[in-house]
Structure 1
Amino acid sequence: MKTGFKRATVPLALLTLTALTAAGCGKGGNGSESDSVTVWMYPVIMDPKANSAYWDGIEKGFEAAEKGVDLRVEQQPWENRDQKLATAFGSGKGPDVVLLGPDQIPQFQANGALRPVDRGIEKSRSAFRPAALEAMTQDGKVYAAPIYHTVTSTLYNKRLLDRAGIARPPATWDELKAAAPKLKRAGAATLDYSASNEASLNMSFYPLLWQAGGRVFDDSGRKTAFNSPEGVEALTFLVDLYRSGAVPRSALTNANLFTDHALGRQQVAMGYTNTPADAALAAAAWGAENVIVGPALKGPRKQVGFGMPGGLGINARTGNPEGAERFVAFMTEPEQIRSMGRAGGFYSPRTDVTVEHEGAFAEEFEAALNHAFPGEPHPAARQLMALVSPEIQAALTGRKTPRQALAAAAREGDDLLARQR
C-alpha cells in the first residue's frame, strides 16, 4: 500500500518550480555538462529567514565536502508545484534534484521524468525506516531519498475528558464510542474531523479506512478498493458519530485546520491526525497541563496514523547525475538528517538517527512513527480524493447511506482509473 498531508498550520512538506533558468538541469546554456547541481527546494522550514539560512549553510557544507561542485539551492513556492514541475520536466530545463512527496512519485516516474536514487543511498539504504523507503519506491526502485519524516497522532484535551469523568483517553474505536455519551453530557463533542472538500483524505477518512483494514486502491492500482465491507464499516463509524453529535457539525467546513476550529476552541475532546505543531498550539491555547498526545488510534483491525517522508528525487534528464547522487548521499547522512529535523520540526526517516526536539511532546510523536503510514501513492490519488470527498459529505448529511456513498465514489473512481490506462 502506498498515497499523499495537511495541516495548514504545519511545515509538512511537499513541492515545485521557479522561472525556467537558462542553465537548468546541471547544464550550461549550450547543453553541455557542468559541475553544478541545481536543487529546487520548498519552504519546509516555516520561518523564511531560518529557511534561507539553513539552505545557505547546506550549500557551503556540500561545496566544502565536494570540491569543485557548485550547488545552487533555489527556493520555490508551494503554489501550483505539480503543474510547474511537470512543465519544467517536460521542457528539459528542470532542476537536477527536487524535493518530492510520495504522492508525486508515481506520476513523474510513469512519465519518465525521474531516475532512481538507489546509488545515492547505497551506503545508507539499510538504515531507513522500511515504510519510508516503501513510500518512495516504484517498480522495485527508489525514486526519492527520504530526508525527513512527518508524523501525526492522537491529541486530547484533558480538561474536557476530566469534566466528563473519563480517566483514560479513548485509544480505540470502541473506547471512543463509549466516551461519546459522557462527553455529550458534559457539553463537548468527542472527535474532530475535517470533511471539507479542501481537506486531504490522508488526514481525515483514509486513516479510518486503514484502521478498519481497508485500502484505497487494489493491488493492481487499476481499480478502487474502498467500497468494501471495511470501507463501509469505517464510514458507518464516522457517520454514526456525526449524527449523534460526537463529531461536531463544523466538520463539514474544516479543511484540516486546528486554529479557530472545534478542537482548537476546546469544543471537542480529541483529534486523531494531529501534528507536533498542533500540539504546540494546543499547549499555548489550553495550557500544557491540559494536552495529552497519545498513540495512533486503533481500529477494529489496525493501529495506524498518517505520516510520510519528504525526499530528494533526481531529474532523469540531469546533466550531472554523479553530482546529483552525491548531493542525495550528503543530505541523507546522519548530520544532515538531524539538522533538517531540528530546523523544520521533522522526525527522522532513519532508524539509527534520532532528531532531538525541545517540544514537550517529542517522545510521544517519536513513538507514533512506529504506526505512521505514508498513504497509497498513485498517479490519480489527488483526483480520486476530489471524487470521494463529496460522497463522504453526502453520507454525513444523510443524503446517502455509507454504502451508497462509497458505491457512487467507486463508480466515478473506477471510471477515472480506466481513462488513465
Structure 2
Amino acid sequence: MTRGFWRVTGSLALAFSLVTGCAHADRGPAATAITVWMYPVIADPRASAAYWKQVERAFAEASPGVRLTVAELPWADRDSRLTAALADGTGPDAVLLMPDQLPRFALRGAVAPVGDVLEDTAGKFLPSALAAATVRGEIYGAPIYQTVTTTLYNKRLLDDAGVLAPPATWKEVEAAAPKLRRNGVALLDYSAADDATLNLNFYPLLWQAGGHVFSPDGKKAAFNSAAGVRALTFLTTLYGTGAIPPTSTTSTNRLADEALGRQQAAMGYSVDPADADLAARTWGADNVLVGAPLRGPVQESAFGAPGVLSVNAASRHQAETREFLAFMTRPAQIKSLSRASGYLSPRADVVVPNASPYARQYQEALASVSPGEPNPVSRQVMRLLAPQIRATLTGRKSARRALDDAAAAADALLARSS
C-alpha cells in the first residue's frame, strides 16, 4: 500500500511550525507508529486496500496511543525481501508468515515468541493451527485465518463419461480415469511448476500413502520411503495414461487459468469456497461438486494451514505490536477477515457464516487437515524436489531414482543448516 506525503520546505515550514507549535504541545506525546507487512490474503486489490484501511482505523480506536500502517506486498519474492529487511533493520514490526516460513525465522531469532498474546485464548484455536505456529515448544505466530484444501469436481464431465460418483479414493481415481480419457478429458488437474507449492499437490499424496517429508527429528528427508515411491508412482501412472493433462508441468495451482477451470479436467484441488463459486459461474451451479479430501491407501489427508502474524524480534515497539496481534485474533476480527478473504476461522469457537452453498464442505474438510511439516528449510527442499517430480512425470527418471536424488540433495542441505 503506497501512501503519499506533502513536503513542506523553507520559510513555509518555519511558519507552519511557529503557528502549530502550541497545538503540538497541547496534544501530548505523539502516537507510537507500528508497521505490518501484509500479503494478498484478499484477492481483489481494491477490496484488500479498503479492508486494511478499515483495520487501521479500528485499531486506532481500540489503541489510541498507537498508529498502525498496513503495507501490502506481493507474494512474489517475499522470503528474500523479508530476510533482507530483517537483517538490515528495516523490517516491519509484524509480518504475516506461513507455517513453512516460520521455523527459519524463529530459529534465527528474527521473530519473537508470542505465546503471551494467546495465553488466555490458546485453547480456543484449532489444534492444527496452534501446532503450525509452534516451533520447539514456543508459539511464534498468532493465527488470523485458516486455509483448507479439498476436492472440486465438474459433474457434467463425470456424468458424460459415465462416472456416477465423484472419485474419492485412489482406487476410484484409477478406475474413473480411462472413462474420462475415452471422452478426451483428463481426470485430475495437477500443478507441477516450480512455483506451485508441494503442500497443494505432491505432499498430500505422500501423506495419504502414510509417508512424511522429513524424519521425526527434522534432520533428514523421508519422502524417498516406500510410501513416497508409491505416491509418485500413482501420480506418474496417471500422467502417463493421460489422466493428468500435459499442461500440468507448467501449471501453478490456479483454477481459472488451468485445465480444471477450462473444463479440460474433471477433478482438481480447491482452497476456499470462492473457487467453487467461480466454477459455478463458469460451468453452471448444477455442475459443481465439492468433496472431501482424497483418501489414499492409508488415510484421508489434505493441506490446510493458518496465516500467522509474527513479531519482529528487533521491533522497538514490542508491547504495541502485541496489542495488534491480540486485536486481530479477537472473534470479531477473525470473522471480518474470513468474510473478506473467503478463508476459514483458525478458532474452534468462531465459525464464520458464509453465503456460499459450498461452505459446509470446506468447513468439514478441516477434520482431515494437516498444517504440513514445517522445517527451517521447507521452501528450499520443495525447490529440490519439484524438478525431480517433473523428471519422473516426463519419463526421464524412475520414481525411486528421482526421490533418492532429491533426498540426497535435501540431506546435504539439512546438514549444512543444522
TM-score between the two structures when normalised by the length of structure 2: 0.89
1:277 aligns with 2:274: yes
In the alignment, which residue of structure 2 is the partner of 1:290?
287
In the alignment, which residue of structure 2 is the partner of 1:161?
158
Counterpart among 173, 178, 181 of residue 178 in structure 2: 181
Counterpart among 34, 58, 61 of residue 61 in structure 1: 58
Q: Which amino acid aligns with 2:340?
A: A
Q: Which amino acid aligns with 1:301?
A: V
Counterpart among 213, 216, 221 of residue 224 in structure 1: 221
Report 1:379-398 matches (<5 A): 379-398=376-395
Once the two structures are superposed, residues 372-402 of structure 1 have per-residue CA deviations (whole angstroms, 9 ceiling, x without a partner) of 2221111211111111111111211222211
Counterpart among 43, 46, 53 of residue 46 in structure 1: 43
Question: What secondary structure does 2:145 align onto?
Answer: strand
How far apart are the structure 2 equivalents of 1:211 and 1:338? Answer: 31
Identity over aligned residues, as a percent?
Answer: 53
Question: What secondary structure does 1:120 align onto?
Answer: coil
How far apart are the structure 1 equivalents of 2:231 and 2:166? Answer: 21
How far apart are the structure 1 equivalents of 2:170 and 2:308? Answer: 33
Q: Which amino acid aligns with 1:294?
A: G
How far apart are the structure 2 equivalents of 1:126 and 1:208? Answer: 30
In the alignment, which residue of structure 2 is the partner of 1:117?
114
Report 1:250-265 matches (<5 A): 250-265=247-262
Question: What secondary structure does 1:36 align onto?
Answer: strand
Q: Which amino acid aligns with 2:253?
A: N
1:70 aligns with 2:73: no
> What is the deviation of 1:229?
0.6
Question: What secondary structure does 1:231 align onto?
Answer: helix
1:242 aligns with 2:239: yes
In the alignment, which residue of structure 2 is the partner of 1:211?
208
In the alignment, which residue of structure 1 is the partner of 2:299?
302
Q: Which amino acid aligns with 2:368?
A: H
CA contact (8 A) 1:273 1:306 kept: no
How far apart are the structure 2 equivalents of 1:177 and 1:143? Answer: 42
Cα 1:342/1:93, change in 2 over 3 Å: same
CA contact (8 A) 1:17 1:40 kept: no
In the alignment, which residue of structure 2 is the partner of 1:30?
none
> What is the deviation of 1:228?
0.3
CA contact (8 A) 2:147 2:271 kept: no
How far apart are the structure 2 equivalents of 1:84 and 1:252? Answer: 27
> What is the deviation of 1:274?
4.8
Of Structure 1 and Structure 2, the greater helix share is in 2
CA contact (8 A) 1:198 1:255 kept: yes
In the alignment, which residue of structure 1 is the partner of 2:139?
142
Aligned CA-pair RMSD = 1.9
How far apart are the structure 2 equivalents of 1:347 and 1:376? Answer: 20
Question: What secondary structure does 1:83 align onto?
Answer: helix
In the alignment, which residue of structure 2 is the partner of 1:407?
404
CA contact (8 A) 1:149 1:308 kept: yes
How far apart are the structure 2 equivalents of 1:78 and 1:194? Answer: 18
Once the two structures are superposed, residues 91-128 of structure 1 have per-residue CA deviations (whole angstroms, 9 ceiling, x without a partner) of 23322211111111111111111111111111211110
CA contact (8 A) 2:272 2:342 kept: no
> What is the deviation of 1:17?
12
Question: What secondary structure does 2:86 align onto?
Answer: helix
CA contact (8 A) 1:113 1:317 kept: yes
In the alignment, which residue of structure 1 is the partner of 2:13?
none
Once the two structures are superposed, residues 351-373 of structure 1 have per-residue CA deviations (whole angstroms, 9 ceiling, x without a partner) of 11011222221111111122222
TM-score between the two structures when normalised by the length of structure 1: 0.89
In the alignment, which residue of structure 1 is the partner of 2:82?
85
Question: What secondary structure does 2:351 align onto?
Answer: coil
In the alignment, which residue of structure 1 is the partner of 2:191?
194
How far apart are the structure 1 equivalents of 2:336 and 2:121? Answer: 17
How far apart are the structure 2 equivalents of 1:339 and 1:317? Answer: 30
Q: Which amino acid aligns with 1:197?
A: D
Q: Which amino acid aligns with 2:34?
A: V
> What is the deviation of 1:34?
7.0
Counterpart among 313, 332, 338 of residue 335 in structure 1: 332
Q: More displaced, 252-261 or 209-218?
A: 252-261
In the alignment, which residue of structure 2 is the partner of 1:10?
none
CA contact (8 A) 1:194 1:253 kept: yes
> What is the deviation of 1:406?
0.9
Paired residue total: 392
In the alignment, which residue of structure 1 is the partner of 2:264?
267
CA contact (8 A) 1:37 1:320 kept: yes
Cα 1:197/1:93, change in 2 over 3 Å: closer
Once the two structures are superposed, residues 235-289 of structure 1 have per-residue CA deviations (whole angstroms, 9 ceiling, x without a partner) of 1111111112211222122122222322122122111355433322211221111
Cα 1:227/1:168, change in 2 over 3 Å: same
Question: What secondary structure does 1:147 align onto?
Answer: strand
1:348 aligns with 2:345: yes
In the alignment, which residue of structure 2 is the partner of 1:3?
none
Structure 1 residue ranges without an equivalent (≥5): 1-15, 19-32
Question: What secondary structure does 2:224 align onto?
Answer: coil
CA contact (8 A) 1:248 1:268 kept: yes
Q: More displaced, 288-297 or 368-377?
A: 368-377
